[in-house]
Structure formats: C-alpha cells, structure tokens
Amino acid sequence: MYLNSYNLPCVTISMNFTSVMFSGFKEVREEEKSQMVGKVFSNVASNYDLMNDFMSGGLHRLWKDRLVSKLSPFPGMKHLDVAGGTGDVAFRILESVNSIKRRALQDPLNDDLQEETRIYVCDINPNMLDVGKNRALEKGLGEDKSLVWVQGDAEALSFEDNSMDGYTIAFGIRNVTHIEKVLSEAYRVLKRGGRFLCLELSHVDIPVFKELYDFYSFSVIPRLGEIVAGDRESYQYLVESIRRFPPQEKFASMIADAGFQKVEYENLVGGVVAIHSGLKI
Amino acid sequence: MYRTVVNRILLTKNTGGGRRCLLRFPDLRTAVSSSRFSTTTEPQTFPNRPLNPADSSTSSSSTSFQTSSAAGDIPRQERKNPRAEYQGEQARVLQASLRHVLRLGWSEEAMIAGAKEVGISPSIVGSFPRKEAALVEVLLGLNKFFMDDCLQRLIDRIDSGEELQDLIPSQCIYKLVRFRLEMQAPYISKWPQALSIQAHPLNVSTSFKQRAMLVDEIWHAAGDEASDLDWYVKRTVLGGIYSTTEIYMLTDSSPEFRDTWLFLDNRVKDAFDLKKTIQEATYLAEAVGAGMGSSLQGFVGKVIQR
C-alpha cells in the first residue's frame, strides 16, 4: 500500500531542527520530490565519494565488491547500472569482466565477446555522471567503449525490452518516487535469465545495535555532512529516507510482485545494508 | 528413493521391535530423504531434483525469501508454479552445460556456454546457490546435479531390472556398481576435478550424503534386510569398494575399463570372503569359549569340592 504523497522533512534554511525532532515531516507532492532529490544530489555530487567513505568507514567499498561478486559478470555482458552516477559499481564490473577474459584467453571465441561487453551507467543527475566520467578518465578508462554514460530516469528507461543481462541499483532506489515503476522497468529491460540486484541501506532489528545505529545516523552523520561537505540538510534527508524505505521483507515482496522469481536478500552488517536479488524467467 | 525408505521402515516395523536395537535408524534415513524434499513440490515433475539440497543448505549469513510467501491469497497450486519455473530453467541450463564440461572443465565457462546454448542469459549462472567464492558455488551446482542424475538413472535401472533378483548378492553388487561407474565414464578425463570439488570442505557434507544414498540404494536392490550393526558395516564396506574402484578408474587406460571391472570384481569377492571369514571366526570363538567355559567349570567345581 503506497500513498501518493511522501513525507519529507522540512528543509528550511532557518536552521530550525525542532520541527524534525517533533517528527514534523511535511507532506510533499510527488512532482516536488524528484526536484528535491535532484537538488540534494547536485549539492552532494562533488563530495559524494568522500562522504561515503566517511559515513561508512570505508565499508561501502566492501559492500559494492559483494554486490559485484554476487552478480558474477561475464565477458560479452550487457549490464545496466542505474543511479550509479559516480561509477563505483560499473568500474568494478568492468574489472571483473576483464580479469575473466584474461583467464579465458585460450578460447579464441572469447576475444570477440570482450568487444561486446557493454556497461551502461544511467543516472538522472548530470552532475553525478560528470563526476563518474572524470573518474573513468583518471582510471584510464576514458577510451574504453565498454562504458556508456547515459542520463535517464529509472522510472522510464530508454532501453529496449529484453536487452540487459544484468541490472544493478546501488544506494539509489530509496530516492525514487515510485519504487514499483522502477522495479517493473527493471523487469522490462532484463533478458530471460537476467538478474536484478539492489544494494540499499536497510533496517536493523538487532536490539542494542539498533540503538547505536540510530544514534550514529541522527547525530553523527548530519554533523559530518556539515563539516565535510558543508551541507547538513542533504545528509539529514539521507538519514530520514533510509528510515522511510520499506524493510527487507516488504521490499522483497515488492520485487516478487514485479514478476521476479527466486527473490532473496542478504543482510550485511546486521541489516545496515541489504542486497536484494531477483531472477527474471 | 523416498519410496524405498518407506518400504524399509515398514519392513523393519514388521520384523518386530525386539531385534531393533538401534531405533534411530528410521529417523536418520527419513531425515536425510526429507531434507532433499523440503523445497520440492512435486518430485515426479522433475526427474533431476538436484538443486533443492543446495537451497536447503544455504549458509546462515544469507536469508532466503521464498516467493511463495509473498502471494498470501493465491492458492497453493499457483504459488508452486512460479518457483518451479525458475528451477526448471536452471535444470535445463545445467543439462546443457554438461555437454561442455569435457571441453571446458567443471567451471563457470561450461555453465555460461550451457546457458547460451539454451537461449537464456548467462546471468543465470550467478543465481545458483552461493556460499562464498562464485566459482566454487557454480562448480557445486553443476557437480551435484550430475550426481543426482546418475543416482536417478541407477534407480530406474534397478526398478526395471528383473534379472537382478536372480543373481547372488555379490554378482548383483558388482553389476550395479559397474553400471553406476559407467555413467561417469564419458567424463573421466575431467573427473579428478569433479572429485576435488566434492572433497572441498564446503561440499563434503552434501557429497557424503549422496554417496550414502547411493550405497544404500545399491544394497537395497541387492536384497539386504539387515537392521542392526550389519547395516552400517555393509554400507561402509560397499562405500569403500565404490570409492577405491572410482579412483582406480581415473588412471585406467585399458579398453572399456576392463581392468577396472576386474579390480571391482576382486574387491567384491574379497568383501564377501571377509564376511565369511568373520562369521567363521565368530563361530570359532564361540566354540572355544564354550569349550573353555565347560573345562573351567569343571576345574572350579573340582577346586570347590575339595
């Protein structure tokens, strides 16, 4: 059951946080939500990777490694990484595919396949994509035609039906307005046998750890955002959006409703992060 | 398989409780067979029911959310089908992958080739049950499937083979073990790799269970009715024979594995001779004991009388 309007915290310039403490969430119309999200990410784009490192203590790298190993990429793959602006997941997939290729060098057929690998990085925010393209240049992947940077909306993808072997969305799905639309789009673009993988911050249920995590989220993170990125509101929004996102089981049932089979989830760090996966048959 | 276990339980019940000193047997065997069927809906629809043991043995770090619990209102019958579908597809991919094993080994490449052959995206390879490293899990999936397939074919052969009943047990066992090993003959060049995968710590428990079931099945077909310590002894011995013959086969280059069958024949004979030897030794010990006992009695009697 989803409401048509979302609750957003009062993002007011007059640093009045009592409204947040009294759970004074304001109702915002859905058109406005995507605008607000756009503003948030334009603000955070330049410091996105740095803040990720700070907030997760470097763990986000391991989480993304785990996501890619679960995906099990292969040469010749067509992959779509949604909301992957700065390219973290895409770079990892590319590295993984190239290493497999080196292993299978004996097989002459695979050389052609390597040319066919395509990793599409789709993001709604052009600033994030720019950061990603710069990072690709730094890594020496600027000329690599396997990486394709596309600006687009996760709820209305510009890709054809049954064209992707894999679909990943890492830390992006809680920012969308209509989760079901994103899931059905994912189902549409995947081929038969294709996999959907979602890495997202999720709910913690372990008793003592939950309190610690809440304290960390609401007290430490916005302060960090203020110091490092100079933007407290955006990180406040981030923390609250995590709490609003459906819990693991609910999200898994939503994925199943979109048509995916073999829907599973794996909790990392006690539920702070969860990787949901589904198979299209 | 399920059926034979049921038969055995009924049989043991009928032979009377007195002789049954090890009451845990039925529990052990039904537990083994039920773990295979915990996630299967209809055993008959999938002759290759390989993936369920894998599903039921996922590690504790990952939690599985089955699609069936998502659809609360949909009746059970319909709920089974979506889940069954992906398993059917996975089975098809594995079946196709077997054809590539000889060329590519028991590896991810073979599975990717198999998926392409069937017309399904090779991404499905990533969805096979994972424990840690991707490659090991992929190998696990492929290998287990193959073993179950062979077991199924053996069972079919037993069911259809009327002539087995006319043979003496040792001949029967020889034939069955030979038949089973012949199924592995096409893959013999890559079999050492398969054995090493089975010996991997992560896979040891499932491969042990499979071997136990195989040995059980063979003994049952040979007409075994033991229900006490003998049950364990027989299966252990047969397990030993099977394993040694399998390893012998790896280095056998004689035409059609003639040397291996000779080896097998000798081992089976040895085992049966050993059985007779043990029986004779028991009788001897009993006789000696009886003799000693009576002479001891006489001696003690004489001493007391004095």
For domain A44-280, is the CATH number 3.90.800.10? no
Q: Which of B95, B128, B161 is the last residue of a domain?
A: B128
* Summary mean pLDDT of chain B: 68
Judged against a pLDDT cut of 70, whether residue B294 lies above it is answered with yes
Residues B216 and B231 in one domain: yes
**Is A192 close to B121, i.e. CB distance below 8 A?**
yes
pLDDT confidence of residue A45: 72
**pLDDT band at A72; cut points 50, 70, 90:** confident
Residue B250 included in any domain: yes
Look at residue A38 and tell me whether its pLDDT is greater than 80.
no
Nearest-Å Rg of the Cα atoms of chain A is 19
CA gap B175, B166 in Å, rounded: 12
pLDDT at A257: 95
- B114 assigned to some structural domain: yes
Q: Report residue A178's pLDDT band, with 50, 70 and 90 as the boundaries.
A: very high
- A261-265, B6-10, B25-29, B264-268 — which is least confidently predicted? B25-29
pLDDT tens digits for range B206-239: 778 778 888 888 888 777 677 777 788 888 989 9
Q: How many CB pairs under 8 A join A and B?
A: 96
The total of other beta-carbon atoms located within 10 Å of residue A202's CB is: 24
Burial class of residue B278, CB neighbours in 10 A (0-12, 13-18, 19+): exposed
Contacts of A113 (CB under 8 A, 6+ apart): A75, A76, A101
What pLDDT, on a 0 to 100 scale, did the predictor assign at position B50?
38
Q: Is there a single domain that holds both residue B120 and residue B136?
A: no
**pLDDT value of residue B182:** 85
pLDDT at B23: 34
Which pLDDT belongs to residue B66?
38
Predicted confidence at residue B266, as pLDDT, reads 92
Does B45 map to a domain? no
| DSSP state for residue A153 in the 8-state scheme | B
- Whole-number Å distance between alpha carbons of B34 and B32: 6
Q: Which residue has the higher pLDDT, B2 or A32?
A: A32
- Phi-psi sector, A270: left (phi>0), alpha (psi -120 to 50), beta: left
The per-residue pLDDT for A44 is 67
Gap from B28 CA to chain A (nearest CA, Å): 30
Q: Pick from B96, B128, B160: which residue ends a domain?
A: B128
Contacts of B120 in chain A (CB under 8 A): 191-193
Q: What does the pLDDT average to over A224-242? A: 84
Strand A164-170 vs strand A273-279: parallel, antiparallel, or unpaired? unpaired
CB contact under 8 A, B83 and A107: no
Long-range contacts of A29-37 (CB under 8 A, 24+ apart): A29/A5, A30/A4, A30/A5, A30/A6, A30/A177, A30/A178, A33/A6, A33/A8, A33/A177, A34/A124, A34/A177, A36/A8, A36/A11, A36/A237, A37/A175
* Same domain flag for B112 and B235: no
Instruction: Answer yes or no: is pLDDT of B133 > 60.
Output: no
User: Which one has a higher pLDDT value, A142 or A93?
Assistant: A93
Q: Please report whether residue B285 resides in a domain.
A: yes
A154 is in an annotated binding site: yes
Q: What are the CA-CA distances from residue A169 to residues A90, A122, B159 (Å)?
A: 11, 10, 51
Is the confidence at residue B64, as pLDDT, over 50?
no
Is residue A22 packed enough to be buried (19+ CB in 10 Å), middle (13-18) or exposed (0-12)?
exposed
* A253 — pLDDT class (breaks 50, 70, 90): very high
pLDDT at A15: 35
Q: 3-class DSSP state for residue A140?
A: coil
Instruction: Please say if the pLDDT value at position B292 is more than 90.
Output: no
Q: Bigger pLDDT: B22 or A71? A: A71
**Chain B environment of A195 (Cβ under 8 Å):** 123-124, 126-127
- A209: Cβ–Cβ under 8 A, 6 or more apart, which residues? A270
B150 and B257, same structural domain?
A: yes
The structure tokens 């996922």 sit at: B58
Do B113 and B259 belong together in one domain?
A: no
Q: How confident is the model at residue B260 (pLDDT cuts 50, 70, 90)?
A: very high
Q: What are A110-140's pLDDT values in tens digits? A: 556 667 889 999 999 898 899 899 999 998 8
Q: Which two tokens stand for residue B9?
A: 């339980």
Is A252 marked as a binding-site residue?
no
Task: Report if residue B8 sits inside a domain.
Answer: no
Query: Which pLDDT score, from 0 to 100, does residue A109 have?
Result: 60
Residue B12 lies in a domain: no
Is there a single domain that holds both residue B120 and residue B238?
Answer: no
B64 Rama class: left (phi>0) / alpha (psi -120 to 50) / beta: beta
Same domain, B157 and B217: yes
pLDDT for B173-192, tens place per residue?
888 888 888 877 888 888 88
B65: in domain: no
Q: What is the 3-state secondary structure (H, E, C) of A172-195?
A: CHHHCCCHHHHHHHHHHHEEEEEE
In this prediction, what percent of chain B has a pLDDT beyond 70?
60
Facing A74 at nearest CB: one of B63, B83, B112? B112
Q: Do A193 and B61 touch (CB under 8 A)?
A: no
In chain B, the percentage of residues whose pLDDT exceeds 90 is 8
Report CB contact under 8 Å: B63, A264: yes
Average pLDDT taken over every residue of chain A? 82
SS3 content of chain A, % helix, strand, coil (to 5): 50, 20, 25
Place of tokens 């069911």: B159
Does residue A14 have a pLDDT over 60?
A: no
What is the C-alpha to C-alpha distance for residues B126 and A193, in angstroms, rounded to an integer?
Answer: 10
pTM of the predicted model as reported, rounded to 2 decimal places: 0.69
CA dihedral B225, B231, B237, B241 (to 10 degrees): 50
Domain that holds residue B116: 84-128
Q: Are residues B157 and B220 in the same domain?
A: yes
Encode pLDDT of B81-103 as tens digits: 555 678 778 777 877 877 787 78
CB proximity under 8 Å: A 53-92 to B: 69-72, 74, 77
Instruction: Say yes or no: B251 and B115 in one domain.
Output: no
Band of pLDDT at residue A35, cut at 50, 70 and 90 = confident
Residues B89 and B147 in one domain: no
For residue A279, which residues of chain B lie inside 8 Å, CB to CB?
A: 86, 124, 127
Among residues B123, B61, B124, B65, the alpha carbon closest in space to that of A251 is found at B65
DSSP A229: I
d(CA B268, CA B275): 11
The reported pLDDT for the residue numbered B223 is 73
Residue A238 scores a pLDDT above 80? yes
Find the mean pLDDT for residues A163-174.
93
- Assigned domain for B232 exists: yes
Q: Which one has a higher pLDDT value, A34 or A261?
A: A261
Calculate what percentage of chain A has a pLDDT beyond 90.
47
State the Cα–Cα distance between residues B252 and B188, nearest whole angstrom: 10
pLDDT in the model for residue B199: 81
My answer on whether B99 and B141 are in the same domain is no
Mutate to test the interface with B, among A254, A264, A269 (most CBs of B within 10 A): A264
Predicted confidence at residue B233, as pLDDT, reads 84
What's the total number of domains in chain B?
Answer: 2
Which sign, positive or negative, has the C-alpha torsion A64, A65, A71, A76?
Answer: positive
Q: Is A223 within 8 Å of A217 (Cβ atoms)?
A: no
Per-residue confidence (pLDDT) for residue B240, from 0 to 100: 92
Identify whether residues B186 and B143 lie together within a single domain: yes
**Shortest Cα–Cα distance, B124 to chain A (Å):** 5
Confidence of residue B166 (pLDDT cuts 50, 70, 90): low
Q: Chain B residues contacting A, CB < 8 Å?
A: 61-67, 69-71, 82-83, 85-86, 89, 93, 108-109, 112, 115, 119-127, 130, 133-134, 138
| CATH number of the domain bearing residue B214 | 1.10.357
- Residue A153's DSSP bridge partners are A156
The band of B163, judged by pLDDT with boundaries at 50, 70 and 90, is: low
- 3-state SS track over chain B: CHHHHHHHHHHHHHCCCCCCCCCCHHHHHHHHHHHHHCCCCCCCCCCCCCHHHHHHCCCCCCEECCHHHCCCCCCHHHHHHHHHHHHHHHHHHHHHHHHHHHHHCCCHHHHHHHHHHHCCCHHHHHHCCCCCCHHHHHHHHHHHHHHHHHHHHHHHHHHHCHHHHHCCHHHHHHHHHHHHHHHHHHHHHHHHHHHHHHHCCCCHHHHHHHHHHHHHHHHHHCCCCCCCHHHHHHHHHHHHHHHHHHHHHHCCCCHHHHHHHHHHHHHHHHHHHHHHHHHHHHHHHHHHHHHHHHHHHHHHHHHHHC
Spatial contact of A242 and A253, defined as CB atoms under 8 Å apart: no
